[in-house]
Amino acid sequence: MAQEGQPPQQPGPAATMAGEEQLDLLMQELRSKATELFLREQWAQSLQVYSQLISLCQDRISSGALLRASDQDWLSKLQKSLCLALSNRAVARYRMRDLDEALRDCDEALGIENAHFKTLLCKGRILLELSRYAPALECFRLASLDPQAIANLEALSRLLERCRKLDLQSRTGNFDLSDWVLGGFRGELPELAEFVGAVEIKKSDLSGRGLFATKNIDTGTLLVVTKAIAIERGILLGEELGESKQLVMWKSFVNRVADSSSKCKRMSQLIGKLSSGEEDMGELEVPDIAIFRPEKEGDVTCSNHQETIEMGRILTILDVNSLVEDAISAKVLGRNRDYYGVGIWLLPSFINHSCCPNARRLHVGNHLIVHASRDIKVGEEITFPYFDVLAPLEMRRKMSGNWGFRCSCKRCKFEEEISSKQELKDLEIGLELGMDLGSLVYRLEEGMRRWGVRGKQKGYLRASLWGAYSGTYGSEKIMRRWGRRVPTPEVVVESVVEAAGGDERVVKVGVEQVKRSGGGGVVEMERVFKLGRGLYGKVMKKQALRALMEL
């Protein structure tokens, strides 16, 4: 026992040796237990045992640094064990989707052995999942230099190839879904990189913040491609069952978002930037677009960030920002089209609604692709429709009410002013009551002439009474009677697309017209392809556009 006032005595060399042997044994036991759990893919349990092993290694290394600094062999053996344990714990954490912590373990392991093969593979995979393609590529490149790479050559070259492709996509925006579309969406979903095009976040006249074009953008150009933070899908059968199932799905969706935000600091910081609808819209912080770029790593500076977002706030954020995949204004491509799916995507959450939108969204797997649905001028706000905009003002008011806001777009403002015209109200009522569609179109066109409605505004009103136009053009009988007194389908399709962006129902009328006229000349076909690009984006080549448009 140490005498009072005297320093504790160091154990003698024999006692130290015995203690060390015991610790060696304990380490061996922990290692084999952890390995067994790891091989059985019991990730949570193996993580626990690896953590004990790691602490023990670290304690021994730090105390050993004092006791046996000269024994390099002993030290390097311990460091090797530590590196391997960290590397395996990283894999367990990666499998448990705890990517932040897994990455930390990889970095610590690589701090000990900077070219540790298994760790480089694990780190590369994590970075790939975080859409950080260039550093992932570097990990796989370094791993491919290791002698162990020979046994894994095929897998490694596939990973290298994937990273190269995704890195190029994310830098250039060169995406091409044509082969997949032409193959009837068969086989695996195409792998897509995250991409941020010529856009920035600014204060919006519509509400709070919005996304804006930083240069002139032509129809079909990609604006944003991004992976969902969380998505929940299910098949809904029957209304009753559907509603309760929807509730179960919603709960699971909320839990997924809460889980992502609790496991990744950057994710929670980014989610924290979304509106919960409870703030003063004018006071909302305008984040720099750079923080949403895939190559952005680490922390996001944030003035009022709390480490974890409380459940109540997550719920309100989801209420405002989540999107349903198969909304009438979106298009689901490929295998998830039979499902009801709800998800949340970060950057698209800054896109406001407009009843005269200029962008559209496509869903491919868990990715959301936003492209220009018509030509956009530099500085113009990017908007997509949250609900069906081929409807009269009153109906749109109800739909935006369901979303919890009153739409303040140009088209709504214009239609509010002009809706004092009793004649227009009568036409809207007439459409609901099944009035003769040809006469309805004729009377609206006449009215617009008398009221002095011109240019885009004509497109607004035509979009509002689209039901009458499509019914007229779709009926030979009505066309025989009214055909000479109403504008041609080409004129109306063009003006509605110009005013309300690409929409499948409108474009279909245009395509049918071309088919009826026997295929159309070069100019006409170019016009149709432009409509197609507005609908499906430049991610499709002409052949694929033809297939989608049934041309």
Tokens of 66: 């004092």
Q: Which is nearer to ligand SAM, 136 or 323 (CB)?
A: 323
CB atoms within 10 A of CB 150: 9
Considering Cα of 332, then 335, then 341, then 347, what sign does the dihedral take? negative
Residue closer to ligand SAM by CB (options 52, 275) is 275
How many CA within 13 A on the CB side of residue 56? 19
198: tokens are 């010529």
d(Cα 226, Cα 217) in Å, to the nearest integer?
Answer: 19
- Cβ at position 342, least distance to ligand SAM in Å: 14
- CA–CA dist 48, 38 (Å, integer): 11
CB closer to ligand SAM, 49 vs 347? 347
Spatial distance between the Cα atoms of 438 and 448, rounded to a whole number of angstroms: 16
* Shortest Å distance, C-beta 394 to ligand SAM: 16
Q: Which is nearer to ligand SAM, 5 or 404 (CB)?
A: 404
Judged by beta carbon, residue 7 or residue 404, the one nearer ligand SAM is 404
Q: Which is nearer to ligand SAM, 46 or 352 (CB)?
A: 352
Contacts 24+ apart (CB under 8 A), 53-58: 53/27, 53/81, 53/85, 54/82, 54/85, 54/86, 54/89, 56/23, 56/26, 56/27, 56/30, 57/27, 57/81, 57/82, 57/85, 58/82
Which CB, 246 or 408, lies closer to ligand SAM?
A: 408
* 333 phi and psi angles, rounded to 5 deg: -100, 130
Q: How far is the CB of 319 from ligand SAM (least distance, A)?
A: 8
**Closest separation between CB of residue 205 and ligand SAM, Å?**
9
Q: Where are the alpha helices (DSSP H) in 437-521?
A: 437-451, 455-464, 466-473, 476-482, 489-500, 504-516
Residues that bind ligand SAM (CB under 6 A): 204, 206-210, 275, 277, 284, 320-321, 349-350, 352-354, 403-405, 407-409
Check: CB of residue 102 under 8 Å from CB of residue 90.
yes
The CA-atom distances, in angstroms, between 50 and each of 38, 59, 64, 82, 88 are 9, 14, 20, 9, 8
- Return d(Cα 449, Cα 441) in angstroms, integer: 12
**Min CB(198)–ligand SAM separation in Å:** 19
CA-based R_g, the chain, Å? 30
Cβ nearer to ligand SAM, comparing 208 with 343: 208
The distance of closest approach from Cβ of residue 464 to ligand SAM in the complex, given in angstroms and rounded to an integer, is: 16
Cα 454 from Cα 457, distance rounded (Å): 6
Q: How many CB atoms within 10 Å of residue 295?
A: 16
Q: What DSSP element (H or E) covers 524?
A: helix 522-536
Identity of the residue, 358 or 472, whose beta carbon is nearer to ligand SAM in the bound complex: 358
Q: Which is nearer to ligand SAM, 286 or 435 (CB)?
A: 286
CB of 248 to ligand SAM, least distance (A): 24
Sheet containing 230-234: order of strands: 230-234, 340-344, 323-324
Nearer to ligand SAM, 103 or 347 (CB): 347
CB of 200 to ligand SAM, least distance (A): 14
Closest-by-Cβ residue to ligand SAM is 208
Residue 124 or 210 with smaller CB distance to ligand SAM: 210
Pairing assessment for the beta strands 330-333 and 359-364 based on DSSP bridges: parallel
- Find the shortest distance in angstroms from Cβ 389 to ligand SAM: 11
48 burial via Cβ count (<10 Å: 0-12, 13-18, 19+):
middle
Q: How far is the CB of 208 from ligand SAM (least distance, A)?
A: 3
CB of 322 to ligand SAM, least distance (A): 9
Amino acid present at 435: M
- The tokens describing 339, both together, are 């499902």
What token pair was written down for 36?
């067994």
In the bound complex, what is the minimum distance in angstroms from residue 536's beta carbon to ligand SAM? 23
